[in-house]
Amino acid sequence: MSSVRQQIGLDVGALKARDTEDVIVGKEIIRHRLSSRVIHWLVADFFFLCAATGLPVFSPVFGWLGNLFGGLAVCRVIHPFAGLAFFASAAAMFLHWKREMQMTAQERGWVGPKLLEYLRDKANHDQIGKYNGGQKVFFYTAALAALGFLVSGVVLWFPLTFAGFLRQLAILVHNVTFIAFFVSIVFHIYLGTTAEPGTFNAMTRGTVSKAWARIHHPKWYRELMGTDK
Partner 1 sequence: MSVQSLEIVRSSASTWGGLTGVRSLPVLSKYIDSSSCIGCKACEVACQEWNDLPVVKTSQVGTYQTLPELDASYWNLIRFEEREHENGFSWLMRKDQCMHCGDPGCLKACPAPGAIVQYANGIVDVNADQCIGCGYCATGCPFNIPKFHEKTAKMQKCTLCVDRTRLGLEPACVKSCPTGCLHFGTKEDMLVLASQRVGQLKKNGFAEAALYDPPGVGGTSVITVLAFGNHPEWYGLPKDPSIPWTIKLWKNVLRPFGFIAIVGAIVGAFGHHLYYGNKGHIDPAPLDDEPPQA
214 binds, among partner 1, ligand HEM, none (CB under 5 to 8 A by kind): partner 1
Q: How far is the CB of 51 from ligand HEM (least distance, A)?
A: 4
Query: Given strand 23-25, what is the order of strands in its sheet?
Result: 23-25, 28-30, 207-209
Out of partner 1, ligand HEM, none, which partner does residue 212 contact, by CB within 5 to 8 A per kind? partner 1
Residues, the chain: 229
Under rule CB under 8 A, residue 112 binds partner 1: no
Q: How far apart are CA 207 and CA 217, in angstroms?
A: 14
CB of 87 to ligand HEM, least distance (A): 4
Site string for partner 1, 53-72 (x = CB under 8 A): ---xxxxxx-x--------x
What binding mask, one character per residue, do residues 50-89 give for ligand HEM by CB under 6 A, x or -?
xx--xx-xx----------------xx--xx--xx-xx--
Dihedral-angle region of residue 130 (phi above 0 means left; psi in -120 to 50 means alpha; beta otherwise): alpha
Is residue 206 within 8 Å of 200, Cβ to Cβ?
no
Residue 55 C-beta: closest distance to partner 1, Å? 10
Of 215, 20, 21, whose CA–CA distance to 126 is shortest? 215
169 binds partner 1 (CB under 8 A): yes
Q: Do 22 and 30 contact (CB within 8 A), yes or no?
A: yes
Q: Is 15 in the site for partner 1 (CB under 8 A)?
A: no
| 134 near ligand HEM (CB under 6 A) | no
Answer for which of 4, 8, 73, 95 binds partner 1 (CB under 8 A) is: 73
CA distance 168 to 47: 23
Q: How far apart are the first and last CA of the chain?
A: 34
Amino acid code (one letter) for 129: G
Q: Which is nearer to ligand HEM, 83 or 134 (CB)?
A: 83
Number of residues counted as binding partner 1 (CB under 8 A): 51
